[in-house]
Amino acid sequence: MPLNKERGSRMKRLICILLAAMTALSLAACQKTPEKVTVVKKDMERMIEQASSEDNGNKLSELGIPDEHYAFNSELADGRLKINVDADIRIPEADTIPIRKVSMGVFSQEAVTGIFNYLFEGEQAFDISQTRMTKADYEKRILGYRQTLADKSYLENDQTEQEILDLIAIAEEEYEKAPESLSEPSVSNGTMVKGQNIKSPSLSSASLLVQTEDGNKSLTIFTPSSASKEDLKNNSSENMNMLRYRVLNSPAYTTKGMQRTDGTSLPEETANKLTISFDEAQALCDGLFSAAGMQEDFCVGAAFLIDDKGTGLVDGKWENGQYIEGSKEAAENYAYQFYYTREADSIPLAVYTTNGGAGNPEFSIPWGYEYICFTVDNSGIVSIIWTNPIIIGEVVQEDAIMKPFDEIITIFENMVKVTYQSMIDTLYAGEGSIEINVDDVELCLLRVREQNGDETAGLLIPAWVFYGHSIGTDQTGYKSYDLTSYGGASRWPEAPITLLAINAVDGTIIDLSKGY
C-alpha cells in the first residue's frame, strides 16, 4: 500500500528506527518484565514435547476461555502509552488443535492454468514475457534519465544522483540487447515460461506475464520451478513467489477509511451503488481456488468495504508534511476487499493483512507470511494479490496442550506494555506517544520457522493473535498508523494488523519479523 511521496523519506526513517527498536526489544525481552515473563527463541523439539505433556497446561476444552469480550485498559509513561482492549474472543470450532509441519510452496503449473482460464474465460491473453521495448524506447528512457540528472528533478522522488546513474547504466545495457522492432506477441494458454527469473534468468524459476490486447487486464506470476529446497534457496527474493491480477479500468479504490463488513446492513449510500452481494462476491473468490484445483481449504479471514474516496479522506492535499482535509466528497464506487487465509483441520491460520515482512537477516532465505487479498466490485474481481503460498504437511502432535487462557492474558498485559513502551523510547526519544487499540482476539494457527535447520520449513502451532491498530504520534503531532517490524506505516488506519502474537503452547512472544 503505497505511501504519499512527500512523506516517503520520513516513513523510511521511522521504519529503520523501528527495526532498531525491535532489535533492542529482543535484547530487553530477555530481562525481567513486571511479571518475569520472558521471550525466548523457539526450539521445535522442546515445544513439541511441551505440547504433548499435560503438566504443561490443558487441552482446548479446558483452557478456561470466556465467552464474552475481553476488556483491558492501561496507561503508562505519563499517559504517553495508552492500551485499550475491547475485543471479541474467537476460538476454532474444533475439539483439538493439532500441530503440523509446514513448508514453502510454489504456484504449480496445474494451479496457474486453472487460475488463468478462470480469469480470462472467453478472452484472449497475450504473452508479454519477452522484451516489449525497442532500441528507440530505451533511447527515450535514457534521455529522460539524463534530463532528470540535469534538472535534479530526481530529488522530488526521494532519489539520489547515484541511483539515476545506475538506472542509466541498466538502460544502456538493455539497449544493446533490445530489438529494432517488436514481433507480435503470441496468445497464451497459461503455460509458465521456465528460467524467466526477473532477478536472474539463470535461476530455476517459472513465470507468466500476460495481458489482454487492450492492456486492460493483466496477470503476473513469478514462482520457483518447484518446492525443492534448491529451487527455493535459489529464488530467495521476497518478490519471487507472487501472483498479481489487475483490471486497469476499475476505479482507483483506496483502503483509507475501509470499514469491516460481513455483508449485512450495508450503509445506505453503499447499498445503492454496490449492487453485487457479499455472498456473490465471495463466491467469485472461492471459485478461483476451485479452478486452481487446490485441495486445501481457504476461508475469509477478514472482509471490508472500500471505495474510491476513502470515506472522504483522500480528496485533500499535503502541505509541509501535513494533510489538509478536503471537501470529503461522497464516493462514486464501492467494492469488497477480502483477506483470505488457509485452514488446517478446519482451524484457520492467522489473518495476514500486510504484504511482505519476515525477511530477517538471520535467515538467508526470506519467508514472508502468506498473503491473499481480493478486491471485488460490481464488474467482478478487479484485483488479486497472493504471495508466499505454503504447503501444509503431516501432523506431529494431534492434540496440543496449551497454556490456560488466564496465563496467556497475563503475558499479553505485561508484554504489550514492554513492547510498545520500548517503541516510544526508541522511535520518539520518549517524547511522542502511542495508542494501542485491540478489537479482536483469536486462537488460531500460526507458522513459526525452524531455527538452525531447514530454512524452508517450520510448524503450524496454536497461537493467540491480538489484532487491531497502533497510532504513533511524534512531538510535532504527526501521526503514523500501524508501524510494525514486519511492514510499513500508513497515514490512515487500514486493515487491522497483528499487534501481538503469543505461542499458546509455551507462552512466548512470536516475532513476525523473524517468523518465530
pLDDT digits (tens, 9 = 90+) for 357-383: 555 556 667 788 999 999 999 999 999
- For the chain, the average pLDDT equals 83
What value does the mean pLDDT take over residues 473-498? Answer: 78
Bridge partner residues of 265 (DSSP)? none
pLDDT of residue 196: 44
Cβ(491)–Cβ(323) under 8 Å?
Answer: yes
CA distances from 371 to 19, 340, 381, 388, 403 (A): 21, 8, 17, 7, 28
> 154-163, 224-233, 449-458: which has the highest mean pLDDT?
154-163
Cβ(175)–Cβ(142) under 8 Å?
Answer: yes
> CA-to-CA distance for 336 and 274, rounded, in angstroms?
9
The grid coordinates listed for 312 are: 472522504
pLDDT of residue 487: 57
CB atoms within 10 A of CB 219: 22
SS3 337: strand
pLDDT of residue 58: 85
Q: Quick one: how far is CA 442 from the chain centroid? A: 18
Cβ within 8 Å of residue 71, ≥6 positions away = 85, 86, 87
pLDDT of residue 338: 98
pLDDT of residue 489: 66
Q: What pTM, to 2 d.p., does this model score? A: 0.81
pLDDT band at 195 (very low <50, low <70, confident <90, very high): low
Cβ(141)–Cβ(122) under 8 Å?
Answer: no
pLDDT of residue 61: 87
Q: Within 13 Å of residue 403, how many CA atoms lie on the same side as its CB?
A: 21
Percentage of the chain beyond pLDDT 90 is 49
What value does the mean pLDDT take over residues 121-150? Answer: 88
- Residue 498's identity, in one-letter code, is T
Cβ(223)–Cβ(244) under 8 Å?
Answer: no
Q: Write the pLDDT tens digit of every residue in 277-314.
A: 999 999 999 999 999 998 679 999 999 999 988 765 55
Dump the DSSP string for 136-193: HHHHHHHHHHHHHHHHTGGGGGT--HHHHHHHHHHHHHHHHHS-SSPPPPPBP-SPPE
Cβ(407)–Cβ(507) under 8 Å?
Answer: yes
> CA-to-CA distance for 48 and 227, rounded, in angstroms?
25
Percentage of the chain beyond pLDDT 70 is 80
Cβ(285)–Cβ(302) under 8 Å?
Answer: no
Cβ(440)–Cβ(467) under 8 Å?
Answer: yes
More confident residue, 168 or 240: 168
Lowest mean pLDDT among 45-54, 323-332, 440-449, 458-467: 323-332
Closest CA to 515 of 451, 454, 453, 448: 448
Cβ(119)–Cβ(219) under 8 Å?
Answer: yes
Cβ(472)–Cβ(483) under 8 Å?
Answer: yes
> CA-to-CA distance for 152 and 307, rounded, in angstroms?
36
pLDDT of residue 360: 59
Closest CA to 224 of 365, 357, 369: 365
Lowest mean pLDDT among 14-23, 96-105, 357-366, 434-443: 14-23
Cβ(443)–Cβ(498) under 8 Å?
Answer: no
> 18-27, 134-143, 487-496: which has the highest mean pLDDT?
134-143
Lowest mean pLDDT among 155-169, 242-256, 353-367: 353-367
Q: Quick one: how far is CA 161 from the chain centroid? A: 32
pLDDT of residue 165: 92
Bridge partner residues of 99 (DSSP)? 397
> CA-to-CA distance for 440 and 409, rounded, in angstroms?
14
